[in-house]
Amino acid sequence: MGAATSPSVRKRSRGTPSVPFDDDNAARLALANRVFFRLHQCANLLHKTGSSALEEEGLTTQQWAVLAALSRPEAAGGMTVNELARYLMISRQNLSGVLQRMERNGHLAGGADPRDGRARLITMTPPGRELWQQRALPKIAAYYGRAVEGMSLEDLTRALHYLLTLLDNMTALDAPEDG
Protein backbone atom coordinates (compact mmCIF):
# COMPACT_ATOMS: atom_id res chain seq x y z
CA MET A 1 0.00 0.00 0.00
CA GLY A 2 2.26 2.77 -1.16
CA ALA A 3 1.13 6.36 -0.98
CA ALA A 4 1.64 8.65 -3.97
CA THR A 5 2.64 12.25 -3.35
CA SER A 6 0.19 13.65 -5.91
CA PRO A 7 -2.79 15.45 -4.36
CA SER A 8 -5.11 13.99 -7.00
CA VAL A 9 -8.17 12.25 -5.64
CA ARG A 10 -8.26 8.49 -6.20
CA LYS A 11 -11.53 6.64 -6.77
CA ARG A 12 -12.62 3.64 -4.72
CA SER A 13 -14.60 0.87 -6.27
CA ARG A 14 -18.27 1.81 -6.43
CA GLY A 15 -17.24 5.31 -7.56
CA THR A 16 -16.94 6.80 -4.06
CA PRO A 17 -14.19 9.45 -3.86
CA SER A 18 -11.47 8.60 -1.39
CA VAL A 19 -9.06 10.72 0.59
CA PRO A 20 -6.20 12.08 -1.56
CA PHE A 21 -2.90 10.28 -1.06
CA ASP A 22 -0.59 13.21 -0.44
CA ASP A 23 2.14 13.95 2.07
CA ASP A 24 -0.41 15.20 4.62
CA ASN A 25 -2.16 11.85 4.57
CA ALA A 26 0.93 9.64 4.53
CA ALA A 27 0.86 9.15 8.31
CA ARG A 28 -2.88 8.44 8.23
CA LEU A 29 -2.42 5.87 5.45
CA ALA A 30 0.47 4.22 7.28
CA LEU A 31 -1.58 3.97 10.48
CA ALA A 32 -4.62 2.67 8.59
CA ASN A 33 -2.43 0.01 7.02
CA ARG A 34 -1.20 -1.04 10.47
CA VAL A 35 -4.74 -1.07 11.90
CA PHE A 36 -6.10 -3.26 9.10
CA PHE A 37 -3.10 -5.59 9.26
CA ARG A 38 -3.62 -6.00 13.02
CA LEU A 39 -7.33 -6.66 12.44
CA HIS A 40 -6.35 -9.34 9.94
CA GLN A 41 -3.99 -10.90 12.49
CA CYS A 42 -6.65 -10.74 15.22
CA ALA A 43 -9.21 -12.40 12.95
CA ASN A 44 -6.78 -15.20 12.13
CA LEU A 45 -5.88 -15.70 15.78
CA LEU A 46 -9.54 -15.60 16.83
CA HIS A 47 -10.22 -18.41 14.38
CA LYS A 48 -7.20 -20.44 15.55
CA THR A 49 -7.36 -19.88 19.31
CA GLY A 50 -11.16 -19.66 19.51
CA SER A 51 -11.51 -22.99 17.76
CA SER A 52 -8.89 -24.45 20.13
CA ALA A 53 -10.83 -23.13 23.14
CA LEU A 54 -13.96 -24.99 21.98
CA GLU A 55 -12.24 -28.00 20.39
CA GLU A 56 -13.35 -30.29 23.22
CA GLU A 57 -16.97 -29.38 22.39
CA GLY A 58 -16.41 -29.99 18.68
CA LEU A 59 -17.17 -26.37 17.75
CA THR A 60 -15.35 -24.04 15.37
CA THR A 61 -15.49 -20.26 15.57
CA GLN A 62 -17.96 -20.27 12.67
CA GLN A 63 -20.26 -22.63 14.57
CA TRP A 64 -19.76 -20.54 17.71
CA ALA A 65 -20.94 -17.46 15.77
CA VAL A 66 -24.04 -19.29 14.50
CA LEU A 67 -24.99 -20.49 18.00
CA ALA A 68 -24.38 -17.00 19.40
CA ALA A 69 -26.63 -15.46 16.74
CA LEU A 70 -29.41 -17.98 17.39
CA SER A 71 -29.13 -17.61 21.19
CA ARG A 72 -30.10 -13.92 21.14
CA PRO A 73 -33.61 -13.19 22.50
CA GLU A 74 -34.69 -11.65 19.19
CA ALA A 75 -33.81 -14.94 17.45
CA ALA A 76 -35.81 -17.13 19.84
CA GLY A 77 -38.08 -18.29 17.00
CA GLY A 78 -35.12 -18.98 14.73
CA MET A 79 -33.62 -17.15 11.79
CA THR A 80 -33.81 -17.75 8.07
CA VAL A 81 -30.60 -18.63 6.25
CA ASN A 82 -30.68 -15.17 4.62
CA GLU A 83 -31.10 -13.45 8.01
CA LEU A 84 -28.22 -15.45 9.48
CA ALA A 85 -25.97 -14.70 6.51
CA ARG A 86 -26.74 -10.96 6.76
CA TYR A 87 -26.27 -10.90 10.53
CA LEU A 88 -22.96 -12.78 10.37
CA MET A 89 -21.90 -10.85 7.25
CA ILE A 90 -20.97 -13.97 5.29
CA SER A 91 -22.24 -15.44 2.05
CA ARG A 92 -25.06 -17.97 1.98
CA GLN A 93 -22.65 -20.37 0.31
CA ASN A 94 -20.12 -20.15 3.17
CA LEU A 95 -22.89 -20.46 5.73
CA SER A 96 -24.51 -23.45 4.04
CA GLY A 97 -21.73 -25.93 4.83
CA VAL A 98 -21.52 -24.79 8.44
CA LEU A 99 -25.30 -25.21 8.89
CA GLN A 100 -25.26 -28.66 7.30
CA ARG A 101 -22.54 -29.87 9.69
CA MET A 102 -24.37 -28.39 12.68
CA GLU A 103 -27.65 -30.03 11.64
CA ARG A 104 -25.87 -33.34 11.14
CA ASN A 105 -24.36 -32.99 14.64
CA GLY A 106 -27.80 -32.31 16.13
CA HIS A 107 -27.11 -28.72 17.19
CA LEU A 108 -29.54 -27.12 14.73
CA ALA A 109 -32.77 -27.95 12.94
CA GLY A 110 -33.90 -26.50 9.63
CA GLY A 111 -37.40 -26.37 8.27
CA ALA A 112 -39.81 -24.27 6.26
CA ASP A 113 -40.34 -20.76 7.57
CA PRO A 114 -44.04 -20.39 8.50
CA ARG A 115 -43.86 -16.72 7.39
CA ASP A 116 -42.47 -17.66 3.97
CA GLY A 117 -42.55 -21.31 2.94
CA ARG A 118 -39.78 -20.72 0.40
CA ALA A 119 -37.31 -19.68 3.11
CA ARG A 120 -35.52 -22.12 5.40
CA LEU A 121 -35.80 -21.37 9.13
CA ILE A 122 -32.87 -22.41 11.33
CA THR A 123 -33.40 -23.05 15.04
CA MET A 124 -31.22 -24.33 17.84
CA THR A 125 -32.18 -27.81 19.04
CA PRO A 126 -32.42 -28.60 22.76
CA PRO A 127 -29.05 -30.45 22.61
CA GLY A 128 -27.59 -27.45 20.74
CA ARG A 129 -28.92 -25.05 23.38
CA GLU A 130 -27.53 -27.24 26.17
CA LEU A 131 -24.14 -27.34 24.41
CA TRP A 132 -24.18 -23.56 24.01
CA GLN A 133 -25.36 -22.63 27.50
CA GLN A 134 -23.75 -25.28 29.67
CA ARG A 135 -20.49 -26.13 27.92
CA ALA A 136 -19.54 -23.51 25.34
CA LEU A 137 -20.39 -20.25 27.14
CA PRO A 138 -18.19 -20.94 30.20
CA LYS A 139 -15.24 -21.70 27.89
CA ILE A 140 -15.95 -18.61 25.78
CA ALA A 141 -16.04 -16.46 28.95
CA ALA A 142 -12.63 -17.84 29.99
CA TYR A 143 -11.30 -17.26 26.48
CA TYR A 144 -12.54 -13.66 26.43
CA GLY A 145 -11.04 -13.07 29.87
CA ARG A 146 -7.61 -14.12 28.65
CA ALA A 147 -7.95 -12.30 25.31
CA VAL A 148 -8.78 -8.92 26.89
CA GLU A 149 -6.34 -9.25 29.78
CA GLY A 150 -4.78 -5.87 30.59
CA MET A 151 -7.66 -3.91 29.05
CA SER A 152 -9.91 -1.77 31.24
CA LEU A 153 -13.65 -1.40 30.78
CA GLU A 154 -12.92 2.02 29.26
CA ASP A 155 -10.39 0.47 26.86
CA LEU A 156 -12.94 -2.12 25.75
CA THR A 157 -15.64 0.53 25.31
CA ARG A 158 -13.36 2.63 23.12
CA ALA A 159 -12.22 -0.38 21.11
CA LEU A 160 -15.84 -1.35 20.48
CA HIS A 161 -16.68 2.21 19.42
CA TYR A 162 -13.87 2.31 16.87
CA LEU A 163 -14.60 -1.20 15.59
CA LEU A 164 -18.26 -0.23 15.07
CA THR A 165 -17.14 2.86 13.14
CA LEU A 166 -14.93 0.72 10.90
CA LEU A 167 -17.77 -1.78 10.47
CA ASP A 168 -20.17 0.99 9.44
CA ASN A 169 -17.66 2.43 6.97
CA MET A 170 -16.85 -0.96 5.48
CA THR A 171 -20.55 -1.86 5.25
CA ALA A 172 -21.07 1.33 3.25
CA LEU A 173 -18.26 0.25 0.90
CA ASP A 174 -20.08 -3.06 0.39
CA ALA A 175 -23.47 -1.45 -0.32
CA PRO A 176 -24.69 -1.56 -3.92
CA GLU A 177 -24.46 1.65 -5.89
CA ASP A 178 -27.63 3.74 -6.08
CA GLY A 179 -29.22 4.13 -9.48
* Number of domains observed in the structure of the chain: 1
Task: Please report whether residue 121 resides in a domain.
Answer: yes
Domain range for 53 is: 21-148
Task: Please report whether residue 106 resides in a domain.
Answer: yes
Q: Print pLDDT tens along the chain (179 aa).
A: 444 433 333 334 444 456 566 667 888 899 999 999 999 999 999 999 999 999 999 999 999 999 999 999 999 999 999 999 999 999 999 999 999 999 999 999 999 888 888 889 999 999 999 999 999 999 999 999 999 999 999 999 999 999 999 999 999 998 877 64
pTM of the model: 0.81
Q: CB of 122 within 8 A of CB of 80?
A: yes
Task: Please report whether residue 77 resides in a domain.
Answer: yes
Q: CB of 109 within 8 A of CB of 122?
A: yes
Which CATH number characterizes residue 33's domain?
1.10.10.10
Task: Please report whether residue 120 resides in a domain.
Answer: yes
pLDDT at 20: 60
Residue 37 to residue 31: CA distance in whole angstroms: 10
Task: Please report whether residue 123 resides in a domain.
Answer: yes
Task: Please report whether residue 56 resides in a domain.
Answer: yes
Task: Please report whether residue 173 resides in a domain.
Answer: no
